[in-house]
Structure 1
Amino acid sequence: MRVFVMNLRGKPIGTCSPRKARMLQEQKKVKVIKRNPFTIQLLYATGETTQETNLGIDLGAKHIGIAITTGEKVLGKAEIELRQDVKGNLETKKIYRRSRRNRKTRYRRSKFKYKTKCVYVEGKGKKKGGYRKISVSFTSNRPKGWSPPSIQSRIDNTFRWIDTFYSLLPNCKLHIEVGKFDVQKMMNPDIQGKEYQEGDTFGYHDVRYFVFARDHYTCQVCKKKGGILQTHHIMYRSHGGSNAASNLITVCTNCHTYENHQEGNILWKWMVEKKKTKRYKEGPFMNIFRRRVFDKYPEAHITYGSITTPKRKELQLEKTHYNDAIATTGIAAIKENTDHVLYIKQFRKKKRSLHEATARKGRKEKNTTSKRNEKNTKSVGSWHLNDKVRVFGKFGWITGFSGQSCYVKNIQDEYVTIPGKSYKQVNLSSLEFICHNNNWQFSIL
């Protein structure tokens, strides 16, 4: 991984090799302003000449591939792993809090803003006609642009790293792969610009008229034109179907009858014989993420996996997230490629739960003063969670404590153990301290 260089005014001017950065540091001509990714700033004036660079991003729900290229050279590669446990932790927290409310113990009140509305329901009461008045509470609508915390966390951290690398490169062009296929282009090869935001039904009075026009005003059962047409649900709404155009077909009134819906009749037979065509769909996260990317980076060059995969194969690169990012930049040939990859992994450093699932009934100590579980220990002496250490000739990070011992894992989430032993605990006295970390782990492999 090359070193990022800033000029005397703090503006990016390019990259240099680690050897050159080390020589400049020994001559006291530079200062280190960031260690991850490693960035130096010159202490003397230089020219303003910069080279054009390309930053390729391969987006994903769990892994993000990053590549930096210029000309026919690959200057740097990185792979970022995001947290996947946010949703599970929130579900656990909800269960704990609900349990405490039901037990009528000390708890944090719900944050929802409740509103009250009076309604009348059937039953005995003071009102005439057999109706009684009750109050119903309901929550206010979520704010515009709201996303579930698990998705919002991944979006925010992805944008953070894109902005970080983009700010370290001079004269940079951004290339982002946002999915496997451009589904709208598959349906309309000439689509471009704002047409992506208009959708299939743009210009039609409603979905019903769009379905008629798509089916050329022809009954899809008897294949006759003319007459009175209606829309029919391929999958009934009672079975989970929707009112989307993809779930509707055009049927004439002669075919769209109650009798034909019954088993053994013409419409029922057509439904059995004509299987619904499967449509390609991305995951919910990528569908939300793609829209956010379009709004956040309007100047970026957007591409899809169906385009970058053939390019990656032409470059004779194996399937990895950072190699996909290299192909995303549009590089024609590779004459120089770095062997080192910067791996970045998100780490949950603190457990902030105030209570555990098991109620402390029958214990002498109060819940507020009782000893916490050892797994929730944040530090022991001068050692803290997520400290980078060297043990038995290997690098790793402290992931938990157990008395005067700890657990150490490497960047691949594997335990670093004593050679020849199977147990996972490592004594604190055998650790060599490297540095403190926040909730990110960095390793160059």
Structure 2
Amino acid sequence: MAVFVLDKSGKPLMPCSEKRARLLLARGRARVHRQMPFVIRLVDRVQAESELQPVSIKIDPGSQFTGLALVRHRQQVVHVLSLMELVHRGFLIKKALLQRAGYRRRRRSANLRYREPRFNNRTRKAGWLPPSLQHRVDTTMSWVQRLRRWAPVSDLAVERVKFDLQKLQNPEISGIEYQQGELQGYEVREYLLEKWGRKCMYCQVENKPLQVEHIVARINGGSDRASNLGLACGPCNQKKDKLAIEVFLKKKPELLKQILAKAKTPLRDAAAVNATRNALFSALLATGLPVEAGTGGQTKFNRITHGIPKTHALDAACVGTVAEVHGWASPTLAIKAMGRGAYQRTRVCASGFPRGRLTRQKVHFGFQTGDMVKALVTKGKKVGAYKGRVAVRATGFFNIQSGSSVIQGISHKFCAVVQRADGYGYAQNPTAEQEHGKAKALSRCA
């Protein structure tokens, strides 16, 4: 992964390799500006003395994840500098709003002073989006602006995907868009891959070619609606043939129940992408940079043509017109939107009754939940060095989350701040090649 570089006045320079960054720090020519993502600041150079190359931010927006790729490009040849995967929290926002609405509804229905409904006193502006959807646009634009501060970005590219929900439900009614050309069937197939988790719905096998499967066979009157389509590996598809799914899975009732329930899954993710696509595109145009818009079928076509594995970040690198892609086998920085805390003073049980109170203050002993800290414990049962995201406690004994593990009960006396909380959690994901190799090794062992 490339390291972001700033000049001595804080203006962006071309990113450099990790090796060069270590040399600059060791020789005293640079200082650490930020830990995650890693940014250094030179002490002996200004932007006017440096040669800058065309750098693009490519975006693959989604309902739950958004892929970001910082690339250097020349004549449609793309060199990947940094890959990021942004995890949204729209579902949590929606859940919190529904809970708040429940509290207000109870207060209005109780024997209390009458209060006018707030929505009757407000008007919505043109282009208004629900908070859970607006969050996706705001978070994506926040990271676009951050990358522009750390790299000399010259243009943007975004996958301006549009799901035609009617065509997804019934492809037979479509015209030549889905039935002619090199991209035939890509949009519907990509939807099915996302819906079924890129696994065979019968045996759950991964990393094998999957075929579009009719849950109710066409010979038995099944349609091409998306609710009747699934994915199956070749052996399972041939074994089921024209059997009714109830007969084929009569010995697996739980799996049958899951498949039938998932087949009727609503298209909420596709609807979320449709609702935010124009708002995100307008926000990108407002930056004043040139913006290239691509389609989802074009992105997948580029990825398969160049033999690149499927991830959200690598999809972003393949957005738009691409002739070649170099340097894509690099780790991805996972960025999870965590929020900045809540105003809620109590926790409640499933029935809505208080079950605990929260402290008024957010900062304890100079630390705040979300700060990235390093702890060197020299005595006690937890002797060792730890680094990660901290959760503070009024008692002075904190929890530190490092990767997927949580170390509890670390005294604040052993902790030191590495980076202040910014509303996000960070983790380094392995490269797509490493994940593919691990999956192959597991399949051989099985």
Does TM, scored on the shorter chain, surpass 0.5?
Answer: yes
Once the two structures are superposed, the pairs formed by residues 224-235 of structure 1 within 5 Å of their partners are none
Counterparts of 1:353 and 1:106, CA distance in 2:
23
In the TM superposition, what is the alpha-carbon distance from 1:345 to its structure 2 partner? 1.3
In the TM superposition, what is the alpha-carbon distance from 1:58 to its structure 2 partner? 0.9
* Letter paired with 1:396: G
- Out of 267, 277, 284, the position equivalent to 1:297 is 284
Counterparts of 1:313 and 1:166, CA distance in 2:
29
Is 1:428 aligned with 2:428? Answer: no
Q: 3-state DSSP class of the match of 1:283?
A: helix
- Out of 308, 311, 322, the position equivalent to 1:317 is 308
Structure 1's 163 and 103: CA in aligned 2 closer, same or farther, altered over 3 A?
same
Is 1:150 aligned with 2:132? Answer: yes
Counterparts of 2:366 and 2:123, CA distance in 1:
47
Task: Report which of the two structures shows the higher radius of gyration computed on alpha carbons.
Answer: 1
- Out of 294, 307, 320, the position equivalent to 2:298 is 307
* Letter paired with 2:142: R
Counterparts of 2:294 and 2:121, CA distance in 1:
40
Once the two structures are superposed, the pairs formed by residues 173-184 of structure 1 within 5 Å of their partners are 173-179=155-161
Structure 1's 40 and 145: CA in aligned 2 closer, same or farther, altered over 3 A?
same
Structure 1's 165 and 438: CA in aligned 2 closer, same or farther, altered over 3 A?
closer
Is 1:416 aligned with 2:406? Answer: yes
Once the two structures are superposed, the pairs formed by residues 186-335 of structure 1 within 5 Å of their partners are 187=175, 283-298=270-285, 299-328=290-319, 330-335=321-326
Structure 1's 12 and 111: CA in aligned 2 closer, same or farther, altered over 3 A?
farther
In the TM superposition, what is the alpha-carbon distance from 1:335 to its structure 2 partner? 4.3
* Letter paired with 2:411: L
Whether the 8 Å contact between 1:375 and 1:401 is mirrored in structure 2 is: no
Whether the 8 Å contact between 1:54 and 1:329 is mirrored in structure 2 is: no
Is 1:88 aligned with 2:60? Answer: no
Whether the 8 Å contact between 1:181 and 1:306 is mirrored in structure 2 is: no
User: What residue is the counterpart of 1:134 in the other structure?
Assistant: none
Structure 1's 178 and 375: CA in aligned 2 closer, same or farther, altered over 3 A?
farther
User: What residue is the counterpart of 1:259 in the other structure?
Assistant: none
Counterparts of 1:159 and 1:87, CA distance in 2:
20
In the TM superposition, what is the alpha-carbon distance from 1:49 to its structure 2 partner? 2.6
Is 1:15 aligned with 2:5? Answer: no
Q: Which whole-Å deviations, capped at 9, do the CAs of 1:272-294 have from their partners, x for residues lacking one?
A: x9989779976222112111133
Is 1:387 aligned with 2:368? Answer: no
Structure 1's 26 and 283: CA in aligned 2 closer, same or farther, altered over 3 A?
same
User: What residue is the counterpart of 2:441 in the other structure?
Assistant: none
- Out of 307, 331, 341, the position equivalent to 2:332 is 341
Q: 3-state DSSP class of the match of 2:146?
A: helix
* Letter paired with 1:340: P
Structure 1's 47 and 188: CA in aligned 2 closer, same or farther, altered over 3 A?
farther
Is 1:98 aligned with 2:82? Answer: no
User: What residue is the counterpart of 1:442 in the other structure?
Assistant: 426
- The normalised TM-score by structure 2 is 0.59
Q: Which whole-Å deviations, capped at 9, do the CAs of 1:183-234 have from their partners, x for residues lacking one?
A: 99x7576xxxxxxxxxxxxxxxxxxxxxxxxxxxxxxxxxxxxxxxxxxxxx
The number of equivalent residue pairs is 317
| Worse-matched range after superposition: 335-344 or 83-92 | 335-344
| Worse-matched range after superposition: 158-167 or 426-435 | 426-435
Q: Which whole-Å deviations, capped at 9, do the CAs of 1:273-324 have from their partners, x for residues lacking one?
A: 9989779976222112111133223431111221111221232222111111
Counterparts of 2:20 and 2:14, CA distance in 1:
13
| Worse-matched range after superposition: 171-180 or 285-294 | 171-180
Runs of 4+ more than 6 Å apart: 273-282
Identity of counterpart residues, as a percentage?
24
Is 1:5 aligned with 2:5? Answer: yes
User: What residue is the counterpart of 1:51 in the other structure?
Assistant: 53
Structure 1's 102 and 428: CA in aligned 2 closer, same or farther, altered over 3 A?
farther
Counterparts of 2:9 and 2:398, CA distance in 1:
44
Structure 1's 276 and 437: CA in aligned 2 closer, same or farther, altered over 3 A?
closer
In the TM superposition, what is the alpha-carbon distance from 1:96 to its structure 2 partner? 2.4
| Worse-matched range after superposition: 82-91 or 399-408 | 399-408
In the TM superposition, what is the alpha-carbon distance from 1:11 to its structure 2 partner? 4.0
User: What residue is the counterpart of 1:76 in the other structure?
Assistant: 82
Q: 3-state DSSP class of the match of 2:427?
A: strand
* Letter paired with 1:141: T
Q: 3-state DSSP class of the match of 2:84?
A: strand
Whether the 8 Å contact between 1:75 and 1:338 is mirrored in structure 2 is: no
5+ residue gaps in structure 2? 168-173, 178-220, 228-265, 376-383, 430-446
Q: 3-state DSSP class of the match of 1:348?
A: coil
Q: Which whole-Å deviations, capped at 9, do the CAs of 1:59-86 have from their partners, x for residues lacking one?
A: 1122111112224532111111121301
Whether the 8 Å contact between 1:386 and 1:439 is mirrored in structure 2 is: yes
Structure 1's 4 and 388: CA in aligned 2 closer, same or farther, altered over 3 A?
closer
Whether the 8 Å contact between 1:96 and 1:356 is mirrored in structure 2 is: no
In the TM superposition, what is the alpha-carbon distance from 1:155 to its structure 2 partner? 1.4
* Letter paired with 2:82: G
Whether the 8 Å contact between 2:137 and 2:280 is mirrored in structure 1 is: no
| Worse-matched range after superposition: 154-163 or 168-177 | 168-177
Q: 3-state DSSP class of the match of 1:416?
A: strand
Superposition RMSD on alpha carbons, in Å? 4.0
Q: 3-state DSSP class of the match of 2:142?
A: helix
- The normalised TM-score by structure 1 is 0.59
Counterparts of 1:175 and 1:11, CA distance in 2:
23
Q: 3-state DSSP class of the match of 2:301?
A: helix
Counterparts of 2:33 and 2:4, CA distance in 1:
10
Q: 3-state DSSP class of the match of 2:52?
A: coil
Whether the 8 Å contact between 1:56 and 1:328 is mirrored in structure 2 is: yes
Whether the 8 Å contact between 2:314 and 2:328 is mirrored in structure 1 is: no
In the TM superposition, what is the alpha-carbon distance from 1:32 to its structure 2 partner? 4.7
- Out of 134, 145, 160, the position equivalent to 1:163 is 145
Q: Which has the higher helix share?
A: 2
Q: Which whole-Å deviations, capped at 9, do the CAs of 1:254-285 have from their partners, x for residues lacking one?
A: xxxxxxxxxxxxxxxxxxx9989779976222
* Letter paired with 2:275: I
Whether the 8 Å contact between 1:386 and 1:398 is mirrored in structure 2 is: yes
In the TM superposition, what is the alpha-carbon distance from 1:336 to its structure 2 partner? 3.2
Counterparts of 1:297 and 1:383, CA distance in 2:
35
Q: Which whole-Å deviations, capped at 9, do the CAs of 1:89-148 have from their partners, x for residues lacking one?
A: 1121222233345445699x66827xxxxxxxxxxxxxxxxxxxxxxxx44432222221
Counterparts of 2:396 and 2:6, CA distance in 1:
44
